[in-house]
Amino acid sequence: MAVFEKDAVMVWLKLSIIFALILVTVIFIIYFFRIYHYYRPKPQPKPRGDVKKGKVYSLSLGLLPWEKESTRKHWPVYIIGIIYHSAIAFAFFRLVAILFNLNFFLNFFSNRPVMIFLFVGTVSGLSLFFRRLLKAELRQLSYPDDYAANLLVNLFLLNGAISIFFQKALIFFLLNAFFLILYLPLGKIRHCVFFIPSRLIFGQYYGLRGVLPPPFKKIFQ
Amino acid sequence: MIEKNWDSQVKQALSRGLDFERAVQLSTCVRCGLCAESCHYYLVEKDVKAIPAYKLKIVEQVFNYYLNSSGRFLTFWFGSQRLKASTVEKWLDILFGRCSLCGRCSLNCPMGIKIHDLVRLGRSILAELGLVPSGLASTISTTINSDNNMGIKTEEWIGTVRWLEEELRRELEDSSVCLPLDREGAKILYAINPREAKFFPLSLLAVGKIFHAAGESWTLSSNYYDVTNYAYFSGQEALAAEFFRRLEISMKRLNCQMLVLTECGHGFVSARWEAPAWLGYQPDFEIRSILEIMADYVQQGKLKLDPSRNNLPVTLHDPCNLVRLGGLLNEARFLIRQSVKNFIEMKPRGIENFCCGGGGGQLAMTEFAARRQKAGQIKARQIKETGAKIVVAPCHNCLDQLLELNRIYKLGVQLKTVTEIVAEALVF
Ligand code: SF4
Ligand code: SF4
């Protein structure tokens, strides 16, 4: 790493990424404020269920594949999705470790198993790309952004993997990260921010009505 | 359709219908397509336009165009669209004609998007533009102009109640039994679906028997008794609030403590769950379904039921609005198990049960009748697979659709409400 610390290009690149991260955070905050403008306090009906339990379920057991017919019927897509998103998280942590010289974390995210995992993540991402491309209905449902976002992330994972063993490739990983971060708020990748609020809204709605969480026995049926 | 500039109306409708939660959810779809097979329309049509995410997508495009500042750039890349004549036609055909607002897709979306709610937002924009399909619009206007969705006149309704009262007395051989009308100070006001008064009075007779057996203090109202709320389907929330307020007026006039709703899915969702947001306040009386009331009676030992009176195999259709969106997961099951000898569950059941296809105002929109009947194939198959001879559906709207499916798909079943099944098992 020391070699790169001295490299002015790398320093500028790191600073640019940090700037991009700050910019994107500000954009998301502004976006949230804009839509928060639509917030209307609503009188809550008398609950039948438990809102808190609904929210907890929505972000925990409710994410398990057997809890929904859609994921029960599509196990491979679910597993691929989990691998893909976990790999993205690993690559992102690696990026953060590089940006802030967190040596302990950097060592943790810079070894052979992580490299293999990032490769597997890339392949998972590509399989989702081809799923979208080859299934006529999914194609009709998609925008160019869906493909672009997927490819940008796949490249991020691939560069993340390569840069673990070829330090010279680190510049590509950082460049890739820079563009990826700037792209975040524009298209579908923003779901990384909206996922949790959306699941909380879901949990609140079904929790209040006593629909979810399902009775204990159903979970283990 | 003639090209018009709808921009200001769309913006107005969007800002009226949008809230923070809807705006968040409109920004979340990843177009994974996992919701496709949860929709009965998609299962029978295999058409992309029937995929829930597609229905969401066409609403999201308009949201992006009008309210998302980045939405006007690279519209083809990120997907945004101005509402123009061709979009409106597509919206009408898809949002009204290919969705029964059953919420099955919402439960199956990994991102937790309440797709049915956003379809309703789209419908509300169409309603703002005066574009509610004629069948639904005419049911709504009948409700506005009379006091119920079937235009039943007050004298006609009073006459029906008197006639049913006579029937009840004859059947129970008890001249003291009554179907109370406008009884001030009764604990319960019972709101009905006008369909019962007009075509299926047996369910009213059944409820009379049950209240009598439980020794309940209850009443019917001579006006403003309609539990249905078709403005819920068209997304016209101000009007929906107005319709609910009518029930509130009857509650106040008769000084009752609890509003009990007949077996009606969307009526329950409207009054129990949606009304406070429409009204801006929580009504100061309790709102319950007759299913909850009957389940309480059985648990409290107020009703004695003999299951051997119902020997035929019985299955249960879970109305989407009552179960998946309403939370009444167990009441109907509990009551049926107490009232029949042979109960067979559908597959899937409960919150995962399929929509009958008649919800979302579909039964009123004759323009989409063929599609509705086709979408009902899934329910027809489920019923056939149970081998049941009686299908119980605690929703009058569902019952209408099931009656049609029974005829079209030659199911050869009897259709009943839970109240009827319980009344048949009742031991005095
Ligand atoms: S399942 Fe949810 S996220 Fe996936 S396409 Fe359907 S609506 Fe969008
Ligand atoms: S609400 Fe029901 S009918 Fe409408 S899209 Fe979802 S599953 Fe299909």
Enumerate the domain spans of chain A: 2-40+68-208
Distance, CA of B249 to chain centre: 22
> What is the spatial distance between Cα B368 and Cα B133, in angstroms, rounded to a whole number?
9
Ligand 1 binding pocket includes B109 (Cβ within 6 Å): yes
Residue B220 lies inside a defined structural domain of this protein: yes
Report which of B288, B294, B382 is spatially closest to residue B332, judged by C-alpha positions: B294
- Say yes or no: B106 and B172 in one domain: no
In this predicted structure, what is the pLDDT of residue A6? 57
In this predicted structure, what is the pLDDT of residue A5? 53
Cβ-nearest to A43 among B31, B280, B327: B280
Could you tell me the pLDDT band of residue A2, with boundaries at 50, 70 and 90? very low
| Cβ within 8 Å, pair A141-B53 | yes
| pLDDT tens, per residue, chain B with 428 residues | 667 788 888 988 888 899 999 999 999 999 999 999 999 999 999 999 999 999 999 999 999 998 876 677 788 888 888 988 888 999 999 999 999 999 999 999 999 999 999 999 999 999 999 999 999 999 999 999 998 999 999 999 999 999 999 999 999 999 989 999 999 999 999 999 999 999 999 999 999 999 999 999 999 999 999 999 999 999 999 999 999 999 999 999 999 999 999 999 999 999 999 999 999 999 999 999 999 999 999 999 999 999 999 999 999 999 999 999 999 999 999 999 999 999 999 999 999 999 999 999 999 999 999 999 999 999 999 999 999 999 999 999 999 999 999 999 999 999 999 999 999 999 98
- Say yes or no: B286 and B400 in one domain: no
- Say yes or no: B277 and B175 in one domain: yes
- Say yes or no: B84 and B24 in one domain: yes
* Domain tally, chain B: 3
Q: Which of residues 33-62 of A touch B (CB under 8 A)?
A: 35-36, 38-40, 42-46, 48-49, 58
Q: Which residue blocks in B71-227 are alpha helix, DSSP H?
A: 75-78, 85-91, 104-108, 115-128, 134-145, 154-172, 194-198, 202-214
Does the pLDDT value for residue A70 go beyond 80?
yes
Does the pLDDT value for residue A1 go beyond 70?
no
CATH number of the domain encompassing residue B376: 3.40.50.10700
| Cβ within 8 Å, pair B108-A68 | yes
Residue A189 CA, ligand 1 centroid: distance in Å: 14
Ligand 1: nearest atom to the Cα of B33: 5
Residue B1 lies inside a defined structural domain of this protein: no
The whole-number average pLDDT for the span A101-108 is 88
Residue B181 lies inside a defined structural domain of this protein: yes
Residue B190 lies inside a defined structural domain of this protein: yes
Backbone dihedral region for residue A124 (phi beyond 0: left; psi -120 to 50: alpha; all else: beta): alpha
- Say yes or no: B242 and B358 in one domain: no
- Say yes or no: B148 and B259 in one domain: yes
ipTM metric: 0.95
Three-class DSSP category at B114:
coil
Long-range Cβ pairs for the range B115-119 (8 Å, 24+): B115/B35, B115/B52, B115/B53, B115/B55, B115/B56, B116/B325, B117/B22, B117/B25, B118/B22, B118/B25, B118/B26, B118/B56, B118/B59, B118/B60, B119/B55, B119/B56, B119/B59, B119/B95
| Cβ within 8 Å, pair B28-A135 | no
In this predicted structure, what is the pLDDT of residue A107? 87
- Say yes or no: B291 and B313 in one domain: no
In this predicted structure, what is the pLDDT of residue B283? 96
- Residues in CB range of A154: below 8 A, 6 or more apart: A122, A125, A126, A129
The whole-number average pLDDT for the span A66-81 is 97
Could you tell me the pLDDT band of residue A3, with boundaries at 50, 70 and 90? very low
Other CB atoms within a 10 A radius of the CB of residue A118 amount to 25
- Say yes or no: B154 and B294 in one domain: yes
Residue B2 lies inside a defined structural domain of this protein: no
In this predicted structure, what is the pLDDT of residue A117? 98
- Say yes or no: B12 and B122 in one domain: yes
Query: Residue with the nearest Cα to atom 8 of ligand 2?
Result: B39
In this predicted structure, what is the pLDDT of residue B324? 98
Q: Which ligand is located closest to the Cα atom of residue B102? A: 2
Cβ-nearest to B282 among A45, A188, A198: A45
> What is the spatial distance between Cα A206 and Cα A50, in angstroms, rounded to a whole number?
9
The whole-number average pLDDT for the span A116-120 is 98
Q: Which two tokens stand for residue B286?
A: 């309790």
Cβ-nearest to A38 among B19, B38, B112: B19
| Cβ within 8 Å, pair A74-B34 | yes
CATH number of the domain encompassing residue B118: 1.10.1060.10
Report which of A23, A49, A36, A179 is spatially closest to residue B329, judged by C-alpha positions: A49
Rg (CA), chain A: 20
The parent domain of residue B368 ranges over: 307-425
Determine the residue of chain A that is closest to B16 in CA distance: A38
In this predicted structure, what is the pLDDT of residue B342? 97
In this predicted structure, what is the pLDDT of residue A221? 35
Residue B154 CA, ligand 1 centroid: distance in Å: 47
In this predicted structure, what is the pLDDT of residue B403? 98
- Say yes or no: B347 and B211 in one domain: no
- Say yes or no: B160 and B294 in one domain: yes
